[in-house]
């Protein structure tokens, strides 16, 4: 999709018109016959008039973004080659809607849709094309492209995307953006006594990787550490998932993929914040060398973990990644982890919402506010002191699953809290993206499958920090 910024309206094959607050000003007779009232999630394509009406409902940032995305799905499915849309005060949202709504994943389609091959152009009408407008436009393009890159990573099958490939993708991003990158393997895990991450990937034919990327601009205003769960596939290990639950487990790398996308976006935007991106890239499989329920693992910080379920593996990978980050990176302001960690979070808050957890209520609120402003849904799940006893072990320091089936998202977050040093507990946030990361339907500005969850709200969080 080619995007042009223009200051004056031009004639094109198609005009995309966003209807706000059900306020239809023209073509009333035709639209009435189609029973189009301009309500949100409704549309009316009038090819003979060269117009596409999209209902927006209440005029807000996210409604505009989602409405434009809906328009792009319709536009992409036609043979129209050029369209015009007025941005008004929502240039960033219009651009994001165009880029995110135009996304499709056709890598494994043998017969490509010819309509997708047609080069299409969108002319975006703005009041003035000046340096500020261009900056907003370019930031929105870079952000959207990074989200779509994450979608591609997550949608790719486990046979084509395993820890070594994830490391290669990270290296490619690092080279393109002049980032520092370090990649560690099994030998390093043994030397550093990282028994948790090592155990999870032990039965896979693909060796695990720990990836550490660094974006370090001159005179950074803040220093942030991002950690992503990169389970390139999760069979459940010896605690094998039921067949139906194993499908879509290519999405278990969504947290690590989000970190890759964030690193790409902030480097292209040249944000004045030092950012470290750390990913535990692992495949959890079965075999004679698989780690087992009843094993006791020793994490990098020396804490012992009783394994009672090998499908609670993401928290084991993150435990060692969190320890690594706190040992290797000094004087950071915030540490944020991203993981498709628990089905319990999906049960609790639904498919579309990220669960935010941590010890610092004000920090949790700040991230949630940034998420909502970015158009990503998020809610805070508060730690509960009465649940802490449910992850205690009789034979080790801690157990990798709770003794109760209730509050599973929170107990998983509290497990991770055991690997946060005391001096860093007020700096840490855990984001359970199990719900929004991969949904088997179109929703908002997101397609079927991977959404790229976490990228937009983290970039917004950083921009909000800069603006303080």
Residues serving a catalytic function are: 241, 315
Radius of gyration of the chain, Cα coordinates, nearest whole angstrom: 23
Joined together, the tokens standing for residue 339 give 């993981």
Question: 9 near 125, Cβ under 8 Å?
Answer: yes
Q: b/e map of 265-287 (b: 16 or more CB within 10 Å)?
A: bbbbbebebbbbbbbbbbbbbee
Joined together, the tokens standing for residue 6 give 């223009």
76 closest CA partner among 103, 51, 49: 103
Joined together, the tokens standing for residue 289 give 């060398």
Joined together, the tokens standing for residue 415 give 């497990």
Quote the DSSP letter at residue 346.
H
Secondary structure of 163-224 as H, E, C letters:
HHHHHHHHHHHHHHHCCEEEEECHHHHHHCCCHHHHHHCCCCCCCCEEEEEEECCCCCCEEE
380 has which bridge partners? 356
- Return d(Cα 246, Cα 249) in angstroms, integer: 6
- Return d(Cα 311, Cα 236) in angstroms, integer: 4
338 has which bridge partners? 228, 431
Rama region for 41: left / alpha / beta (φ>0; ψ in -120 to 50; rest): left
345 closest CA partner among 430, 435, 449: 435
Q: Is 23 exposed, middle or buried (0-12, 13-18, 19+ CB in 10 A)?
A: exposed
> For the residues of 246-312, what is the DSSP string, one character each?
HTTGGGGGHHHHHHHHHHHHHHHHT-SEEEEEEEEEEEE--STT---TT-EEE-TTS-EEE-S-TT-
């Amino acid at each position: 999709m080619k995007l042009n910024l223009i200051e004056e309206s031009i004639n094109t094959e198609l005009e995309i018109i966003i209807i706000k607050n059900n306020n239809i000003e023209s073509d009333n007779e035709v639209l009435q016959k189609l029973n189009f009232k301009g309500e949100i999630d409704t549309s009316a394509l009038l090819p003979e008039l060269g117009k596409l009406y999209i209902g927006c409902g209440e005029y807000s940032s996210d409604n505009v973004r989602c409405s434009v995305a809906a328009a792009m799905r319709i536009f992409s499915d036609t043979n129209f080659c050029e369209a015009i849309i007025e941005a008004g005060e929502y240039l960033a949202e219009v651009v994001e809607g165009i880029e995110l709504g135009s996304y499709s994943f056709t890598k494994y389609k043998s017969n490509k849709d010819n309509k997708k091959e047609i080069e299409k152009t969108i002319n975006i009408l703005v009041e003035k094309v000046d340096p500020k407008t261009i900056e907003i436009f370019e930031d929105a393009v870079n952000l959207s492209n990074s989200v779509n890159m994450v979608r591609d990573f997550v949608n790719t099958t486990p046979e084509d995307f395993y820890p070594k490939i994830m490391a290669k993708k990270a290296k490619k991003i690092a080279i393109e953006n002049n980032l520092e990158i370090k990649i560690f393997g099994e030998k390093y895990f043994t030397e550093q006594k990282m028994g948790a991450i090592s155990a999870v990937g032990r039965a896979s034919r693909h060796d695990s990787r720990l990836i550490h990327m660094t974006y370090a601009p001159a005179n950074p205003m803040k220093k942030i550490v991002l950690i992503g769960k990169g389970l390139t596939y999760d069979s459940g290990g010896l605690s094998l998932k039921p067949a139906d639950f194993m499908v879509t487990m290519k999405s278990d790398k969504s947290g690590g993929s989000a970190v890759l996308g964030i690193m790409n976006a902030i480097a292209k935007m040249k944000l004045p914040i030092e950012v470290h991106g750390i990913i535990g890239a692992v495949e959890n499989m079965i075999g004679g060398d698989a780690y087992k329920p009843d094993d006791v693992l020793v994490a990098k910080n020396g804490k012992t973990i009783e394994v009672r379920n090998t499908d609670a593996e993401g928290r084991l990978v993150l435990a060692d990644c969190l320890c690594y980050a706190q040992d290797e990176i000094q004087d950071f302001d915030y540490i944020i982890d991203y993981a498709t960690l628990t089905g319990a979070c999906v049960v609790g808050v639904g498919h579309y919402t990220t669960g935010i957890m941590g010890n610092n209520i004000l920090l949790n609120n700040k991230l949630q506010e940034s998420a909502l402003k970015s158009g990503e849904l998020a809610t805070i799940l508060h730690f509960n002191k009465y649940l802490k006893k449910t992850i205690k072990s009789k034979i080790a320091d801690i157990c990798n699953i709770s003794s109760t089936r209730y509050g599973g998202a929170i107990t998983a977050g509290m497990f991770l809290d055991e690997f946060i040093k005391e001096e860093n507990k007020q700096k840490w946030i855990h984001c359970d993206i199990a719900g929004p990361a991969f949904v088997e339907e179109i929703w908002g500005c997101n397609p079927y499958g991977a959404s790229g969850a976490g990228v937009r709200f983290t970039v917004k969080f950083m921009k909000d920090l800069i603006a303080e």
